[in-house]
Chains A and B, each alone.
Chain A
Amino acid sequence: MHIMEGFLPVAHAASWGAVSTVCVGFGLRSIAAAVKDKPELKMLLGVSAAFTFILSALKLPSVTGSCSHPTGTGLGAILFGPLAMAPLAAIVLLFQAILLAHGGLTTLGANIFSMGVVGPLAGYTVYNLARKCSIPASLSIFMAASLADLTTYATTAAQLAFAFPDPLGGFGASLVKFLGIFAVTQIPLAISEGLLTVLIYSFIQKHSSDELASLGFNLPGEEERI
């Protein structure tokens, strides 16, 4: 879920932009360090950004019949780690704003923060915690992907509530309102993206876990196959 172009007041747009610039900068530095080690990574990340953009053009079957698309934040965070996701999200969101008229330039910062920082961090943390508690791989992936989506949506709702507090109830009432209104599309989306990510993961593991391992991805071992 993206905040539309021009929807946020100037002060909010500028501060989210500043926060996200810092996050993207950190991400770029970590990517640059990794690329020095493994030059192939640059091409891989660029191609993955294209892959994420294509994902967003696919429609998911969802319970309410609303139009929602997978975001790939959870999968990306598991494969590349949360730091690399902020620059990738920045690229994908810019492309969506310009090529699909979805999202915008002035709200880019707010959207990068929810989709490229909070979502991946939540997904990555949940995935690693779940793996440590020896929860089966498929369940960990489901939890990571759906929680990445849910936290993204909750962050967006909070950003909107900050910008437009309820005239009578203030921030809290406004937050509940936005959470409630967007729940119609976002909760089914989180569940279907979770399921889809599990299916994708088992698909790529069945067909090319060797190829992924050679690139340094830490997929769960043979005996843990989904």
Chain B
Amino acid sequence: MYIDTYAYSNRWRKVHPGEKGLFALLCLTSALLSRTALLPLAVAAITITMTVLGAGIPWRNYLRLALLPALFLLWSCLALAVSFSGGEIHLAEIPFLHLTISLSRQGIDQAELALARSLGASLSLLFLALTTPMTEIMGLLRSLGAPRLMIELMTIAYRQIFVFLEITGQIRAAQEARLGYASPRLAMKSLAGLTGNILLRSLSRARQNHQALLARGYDSKLRFLSPPHNWSPRNLAAAVAAGITLNILALAIHP
């Protein structure tokens, strides 16, 4: 979970989460609204610069983090470009099913636009994820009026994730040391033991947490404090100006 680590240790940790959130959100909408491939790519370039040069995330690790969604994206866009019902460029023919695999001009255009949009949008989100810790994002959601129950469930879940990650790592290492993943059959059995164990632990953990809450005067409300942040008028103005410009450009530029 590199992303979470950087969220707490980057250079822009102290910047008000609302400013970062607003900027990321405006970048996201401009990438989504644009009708040409060029603007989302510009958004991608801006967010990369902000994340690597601004927030100071090491670029090697940034690349590694961005590569996985990018590969997944390429695979999805390949699906967009390919057509089974005929197109200008024939690629292959499947003899028994009478199917031809081909690329159509329209399909390629569609895939190109989707790829650019999605890249711009994903990198905008990655900017927010790498600069703002989950707890502060939850604080933002709370002040935006998300249902209290939802935020409470999220907070419980977020805290528990790291406990489980540690237990999972330990059990997995123990299983691997005993050749638990040597064959697919064994791997399935080990995985079931691992998951079953974590599930049981989560049930007993839930009971313990509840009892701990009761012991501390739980009245069916969980209250959280957000760390104080100061709005910076300069940052806010820059974020809003850049974001709105991008959105206007997205709406104005026609293919």
Contact = CB atoms under 8 A, between A and B. Distances in A.
B69 A102 contact: yes
Interface in B42-77: 65-66, 68-69, 72-73, 76
Given A101-B122, A211-B204, A46 B155 contact: yes
B129 A47 contact: no
The main secondary structure of chain B at its interface with chain A is helix
Interface in A84-117: 87-88, 90-92, 94-95, 97-102, 104-106
Q: Pick the most buried of A5, A24, A70, A91: most chain B CB atoms within 10 A of its CB.
A: A5
B200 A47 contact: no
A20 B157 CA distance: 20
A43 B82 contact: no
B125 A104 contact: yes
A151 to B, nearest CB: 20
Nearest to A2: B72
Given A47-B160, A167-B106, A101 B129 contact: yes
Contact of B110 (A100, A105, A164, A196): A164
Contacts of B217: none
A53 to B, nearest CB: 6
A114 B190 CA distance: 29
A6 B157 contact: no
Contacts of B33: 10
B246 interface: no
Contacts of B161: 50, 53-54, 95
A196 B164 contact: no
A50 B202 contact: yes
Interface in A192-226: 192, 195-196, 199-200, 203-204, 207-208, 211-212, 215
Interface string B159-193: 11101110010000000000000001001110111
A35 B221 CA distance: 11
Given A6-B118, A50-B160, 12 more contacts: A4-B73, A6-B32, A32-B149, A46-B152, A46-B160, A47-B205, A47-B209, A60-B191, A94-B154, A99-B3, A164-B114, A180-B84
B220 A5 contact: no
Contacts of B209: 43, 47
Given A10-B32, A196-B192, A101 B118 contact: no
Interface in B24-44: 28, 31-33, 40
Nearest to A36: B220
B122 A51 contact: no
B211 to A, nearest CB: 9
Contacts of B155: 46
B136 to A, nearest CB: 11
A70 B195 contact: yes
A156 to B, nearest CB: 10
B157 A49 contact: yes
Contacts of B90: none
A162 interface: no
B134 interface: yes
Interface stretch (A120-128, A135-143, A170-178): A170-178
Interface string B198-226: 11101111110110010000101000000
Contacts of A106: 28, 32, 121
Contacts of A18: none
A169 B150 contact: no
Contacts of B152: 42, 46
Contacts of B106: 167
Interface string A136-170: 00000000000000000000000010001011110
A43 B84 CA distance: 49
B13 to A, nearest CB: 16
Interface string B115-129: 001111110011011
A42 B153 CA distance: 7
Contacts of B191: 58, 60-61, 196, 199
A14 B220 CA distance: 33
B185 to A, nearest CB: 9
Nearest to A205: B196
A34 to B, nearest CB: 11
B156 interface: yes
B55 to A, nearest CB: 15
A150 B108 CA distance: 28
Contacts of B220: 35, 39, 42
Given A46-B156, A53-B157, A212-B203, A203 B104 contact: no
